[in-house]
């Protein structure tokens, strides 16, 4: 009981002297996934704002693709991956306007960005 009283007294005392006990909410990130290729993109996989993996339908004619969303998830699992028909393919992960990851591959290997 003495420990509980001490913690409550300390919290009330800290608040009385202007200390804040509130935890500031995390500012949401603006996330942009960008895929580009010299040839049509054949596959795109990405993770949405809730952390769910998504397979993006492709029509076999797209050379670029982009998706943007906001996320306030702590330690978010951002991820995008793409393949092209044997050509170079580049993925970019842009968070709050800054390119945080960029990766280019050639051939049958997927370009993958996560961060």
Among 91, 102, 88, smallest CA distance to 45 is for 91
Contact 78, 31 (CB under 8 A): yes
Please tell me the CATH code under which domain 26-114 is placed: 2.60.40.2880
With residue 58 as reference, give the H or E element that holds it. Answer: none
Query: Mean pLDDT across the chain, nearest whole number?
Result: 84
Q: Distance between CA atoms of 13 and 92, rounded to whole angstroms?
A: 49
Q: For the chain, percent helix, then strand, then coil, each to nearest 5? A: 15, 45, 40
The whole-model pTM stands at 0.75
Q: What percent of the chain has pLDDT over 90?
A: 61
What are the tens digits of pLDDT across the range 4-57? Answer: 444 444 444 545 556 556 677 778 999 999 999 999 999 999 999 888 999 999
85: tokens are 């028909």
Q: What are the boundaries of each domain within the chain?
A: 26-114
Cα Rg, the chain, nearest whole Å: 22
Alpha carbons 61 and 8: distance in angstroms, whole number: 64
């Amino acid at each position: 009981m003495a420990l509980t009283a001490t913690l409550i007294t300390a919290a009330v005392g800290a608040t009385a002297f202007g200390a804040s006990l509130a935890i500031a909410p995390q500012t949401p990130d603006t996330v942009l996934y960008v895929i580009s290729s010299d040839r049509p993109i054949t596959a795109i996989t990405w993770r949405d704002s809730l952390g769910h993996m998504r397979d993006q339908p492709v029509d076999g004619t797209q050379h670029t693709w982009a998706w943007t969303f906001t996320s306030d998830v702590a330690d978010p699992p951002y991820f995008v991956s793409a393949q092209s028909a044997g050509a170079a393919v580049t993925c970019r992960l842009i968070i709050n306007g800054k390119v945080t990851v960029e990766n280019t591959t050639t051939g049958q290997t997927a370009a993958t960005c996560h961060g």
